[in-house]
């Protein structure tokens, strides 16, 4: 009989039970062998009568728990045993015993539990790691900070990038033959040129970026600039006209500040910072990320650059990566423009690799990349510290690779050369692209919804552009300058007459007052002429202002240039899609 059935379980250890011995017919106190015995105590309540003797009856359990063989014990009838102890009273609950555990025996506590020892050891170790980590972080900061090379460009500071504004960084790849194993690539004594140049425009809202490559063989004017010579002396370098873009760096002591000013004169965009890399940067950074994936539409074996790759996808790093971005004879028509396309594909792939989980979750790769980047890059003093570079990286990290568009400055063959080997900016397409970048327009259409809302308003007006067109010779128009731009009317007349044959156009000088927007006013019977002129000048439907009365046979339309006018031949609105050849950084493109 279980003691709990006696109604006095609060005073009896549940491990002790009175049980009937079938051999003797008596109730006996059966103790839990696993429990520790306590001193005898007289029973405090009636219990079944038992027979106690110095010598237990046959079959009765001894103190050691031994009994008959059929019960699994040894039969020692001749063995004596002490009297069966009385029931033990329940000990008082200890403070740390759980409620509801009355009567449950508790093992004597150890000096320190194993769990507490583990927690204390782990806590101490973590404290040590944290303290050591702080010291390690400071050491890393100093290490990386000391790696950075800076140039203080004279007059080149713009105050740096701001979190609530668009900004521009000039990425310059120089062909200077510094570093181990690079002297054999060419003139190792050359101060280097702006061999690969990319203007990286970051949108104000950080949703997108445009990376515009500038051909090294582009013929332009290089403005006068100042450079700081070793020792702090400032040297003024005269400007040059009709010269190649790549001499804006290195030649005549020109530093990256001169290249920054040249790009500003060319595009109208202020360059906030520059980052310059040499051959070693390509080799070391590609190795640091474990290689960059590239794709080839055909196998390549170029003895000049020593590039040898199979058709399809390959992972390249080090010398092989440098050969890939340098080769001019493996792709396209072997021109610098086709090499630019290959370089853009390479940079897109490298961006994807740097932002991949494979890189971001590897402490070793992140350390190697940071170490290689800080050693290989030269930057302006405005971002010449780990703290500033980290802040800049935080801004760039917000941009999804699918919204980073690589494109090339639109160019045409240089008309001044009988057999052109250089190029000049496309007089129509280049200003269009500059205008889009100046107005922070996305080439990836991430702002498509916003643009659709604007287009909805213009849909009704778009009907004005539907219908027949006159010939350029039939267009009659008087041009007034309300833009505030000196000579805008005459430049427009020259462009219309010389480029498109609109010979019946006249310069009427300045408008009575400045105009916020460009407008073309015409009579109902001049609609054909208005559509033709709108096509030529890239006028939106909103610029067309139809009258109510027909005009005379020789009466001209009226074109007033407003503040939105950017130049002759430059459309007032950017193109609806990115320029031809533009590619985003999220897709793998095979070089052809």
Residue-wise pLDDT for 210-239, tens only, equals 999 999 999 999 999 998 887 878 889 999
- Residue 108: closest CA among 13, 36, 10: 36
Element (H, E) at 311: none
**3-state secondary structure at position 339:** helix
- Listed in sequence order, the residues at least 6 apart from 205 whose beta carbon sits closer than 8 Å to its beta carbon are none
Helix, strand, coil abundance in the chain, percent, nearest 5: 35, 20, 45
Instruction: Dump strand ranges (E) for 153-290.
Output: 167-174, 194-202, 209-214, 219-222, 225-228, 234-237, 240-244, 273-277
**3-state secondary structure at position 585:** coil
Q: Give helix 488-500 / helix 527-537 axis angle, nearest 10°.
A: 100
Tell me how far apart the alpha carbons of residues 422 and 214 are, in angstroms, rounded to a whole number: 13
Residue that is written with structure tokens 């067109």 in the block: 469
pLDDT value at position 47?
44
Q: Does domain 452-561 have CATH number 3.30.70.2390?
A: yes
Contact 147, 374 (CB under 8 A): yes
Q: Which residues of the chain have pLDDT under 70?
A: 1-138, 155-159, 176-191, 445-462, 573-589, 592
Element (H, E) at 15: none
Element (H, E) at 112: none
Instruction: Dump strand ranges (E) for 77-233.
Output: 149-151, 167-174, 194-202, 209-214, 219-222, 225-228
Element (H, E) at 462: helix 448-462
Contact 51, 26 (CB under 8 A): yes
Contact 236, 224 (CB under 8 A): yes
Instruction: Dump strand ranges (E) for 397-442.
Output: 404-408, 411-413, 423-425
Query: Between β-strands 404-408 and 209-214, what pairing exists: parallel, antiparallel or unpaired?
Result: parallel
**Alpha-carbon separation of residue 589 from 102, 207, 209, 312, 510 (angstroms):** 75, 23, 19, 10, 51
The model's pLDDT over 72-95, given as tens digits with 9 standing for 90+, comes to 344 443 444 444 444 444 444 444
Give exposure, 401-416, as e/b (b: 16+ Cβ within 10 Å): bebbbbbbbbbeebee
HEC letters along 518-566? CEEEECHHHHHHHHHHHHHHCCCHHHEEECCCCCCCCCCEEEEECCCCC
324 φ/ψ sector (left φ>0, alpha ψ -120 to 50, else beta): alpha
Instruction: Please state the domain extents for the chain.
Output: 1-98, 150-438, 452-561
Tell me how far apart the alpha carbons of residues 158 and 169 are, in angstroms, rounded to a whole number: 11
pLDDT value at position 162?
81
**3-state secondary structure at position 322:** helix
Tell me how far apart the alpha carbons of residues 368 and 195 are, in angstroms, rounded to a whole number: 26
| Distance from the Cα of residue 538 to its chain's centroid | 35
pLDDT value at position 592?
65
Look up residue 465 and give its two tokens: 């552009």
Residue 505: how many other CB atoms lie within 10 Å: 23
Longest C-alpha distance within the chain, in Å? 145
**Alpha-carbon separation of residue 582 from 405, 406, 577 (angstroms):** 6, 5, 10
Contact 356, 293 (CB under 8 A): no
Q: Does domain 150-438 have CATH number 3.40.630.190?
A: yes
542 φ/ψ sector (left φ>0, alpha ψ -120 to 50, else beta): alpha
Tell me how far apart the alpha carbons of residues 167 and 270 are, in angstroms, rounded to a whole number: 8
Element (H, E) at 509: strand 505-510
**Alpha-carbon separation of residue 542 from 337, 355, 405, 461 (angstroms):** 37, 43, 29, 6
Q: Which residues are registered as beta bridge partners of 314? A: 294
Element (H, E) at 230: none
Tell me how far apart the alpha carbons of residues 475 and 528 are, in angstroms, rounded to a whole number: 9
pLDDT value at position 99?
45
Contact 288, 368 (CB under 8 A): yes
- The C-alpha angle with vertex 274 and arms to 438 and 383, in degrees rounded to 5, equals 110
Contact 283, 322 (CB under 8 A): yes
Tell me how far apart the alpha carbons of residues 548 and 569 are, in angstroms, rounded to a whole number: 29
């Amino acid at each position: 009989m279980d003691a709990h059935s006696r109604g006095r379980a609060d005073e009896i250890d549940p491990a002790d039970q009175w049980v009937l011995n079938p051999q003797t017919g008596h109730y006996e106190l059966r103790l839990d062998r696993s429990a520790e015995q306590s001193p005898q105590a007289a029973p405090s309540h009636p219990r079944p009568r038992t027979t106690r003797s110095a010598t237990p009856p046959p079959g009765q359990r001894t103190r050691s728990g031994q009994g008959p063989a059929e019960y699994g014990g040894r039969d020692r009838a001749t063995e004596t045993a002490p009297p069966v102890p009385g029931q033990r009273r329940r000990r008082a609950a200890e403070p740390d015993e759980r409620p509801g555990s009355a009567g449950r025996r508790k093992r004597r506590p150890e000096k320190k539990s194993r769990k507490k020892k583990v927690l204390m050891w782990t806590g101490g170790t973590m404290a040590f790691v944290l303290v050591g980590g702080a010291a390690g972080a400071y050491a890393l900061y100093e290490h990386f900070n000391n790696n950075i090379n800076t140039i203080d460009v004279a007059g080149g500071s713009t105050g740096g990038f701001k979190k609530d504004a668009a900004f521009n960084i000039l990425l310059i790849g120089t062909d200077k033959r510094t570093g181990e194993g690079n002297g054999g690539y060419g003139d190792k004594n050359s101060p280097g040129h702006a061999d690969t140049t990319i203007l990286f425009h970051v949108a104000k809202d950080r949703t997108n970026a445009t990376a515009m490559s500038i051909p090294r063989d582009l013929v332009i004017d290089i403005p006068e600039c100042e450079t700081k010579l070793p020792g702090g002396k400032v040297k003024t370098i005269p400007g040059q006209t009709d010269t190649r873009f790549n001499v804006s760096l290195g030649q005549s002591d020109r530093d990256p500040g001169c290249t920054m000013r040249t790009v500003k004169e060319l595009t109208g965009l202020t360059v906030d910072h520059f980052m310059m890399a040499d051959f070693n940067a390509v080799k070391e950074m590609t190795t640091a990320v474990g290689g960059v994936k590239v794709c080839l539409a055909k196998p390549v074996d170029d003895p000049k650059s020593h590039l040898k790759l199979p058709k399809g996808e390959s992972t390249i790093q080090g010398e092989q990566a440098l050969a890939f971005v340098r080769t001019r004879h493996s792709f396209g028509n072997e021109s610098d423009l086709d090499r630019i396309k290959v370089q853009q594909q390479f940079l897109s792939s490298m961006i994807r690799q740097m932002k991949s989980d494979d890189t971001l979750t590897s402490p070793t790769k992140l350390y190697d990349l940071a170490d290689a980047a800080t050693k290989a890059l030269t930057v302006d003093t405005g971002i010449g510290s780990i703290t500033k570079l980290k802040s800049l990286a935080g801004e760039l990290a917000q941009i999804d690779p699918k919204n980073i568009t690589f494109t090339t400055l639109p160019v045409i063959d240089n008309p001044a050369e009988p057999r052109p080997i250089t190029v000049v900016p496309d007089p129509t397409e280049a200003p269009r692209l500059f205008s889009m970048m100046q107005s922070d327009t996305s080439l990836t259409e991430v702002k498509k919804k916003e643009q659709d809302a604007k287009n909805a308003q213009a849909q009704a007006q778009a009907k004005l552009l539907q219908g027949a067109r006159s010939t350029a010779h039939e267009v009659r128009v008087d041009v007034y300058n309300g833009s505030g731009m000196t000579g805008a009317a005459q430049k427009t007349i020259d462009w219309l007459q010389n480029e498109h044959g609109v010979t019946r156009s006249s310069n009427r000088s300045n408008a009575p007052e400045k105009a916020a927007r460009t407008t073309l006013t015409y009579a109902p019977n001049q609609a054909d002429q208005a559509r033709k002129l709108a096509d030529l000048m890239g006028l939106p439907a909103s610029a067309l202002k139809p009258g109510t009365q027909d005009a005379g046979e020789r009466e001209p339309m009226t074109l007033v240039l407003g503040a939105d006018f950017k130049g002759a031949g430059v459309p007032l609105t950017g193109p609806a899609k990115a320029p031809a050849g533009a590619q985003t950084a999220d897709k793998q493109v095979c070089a052809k």
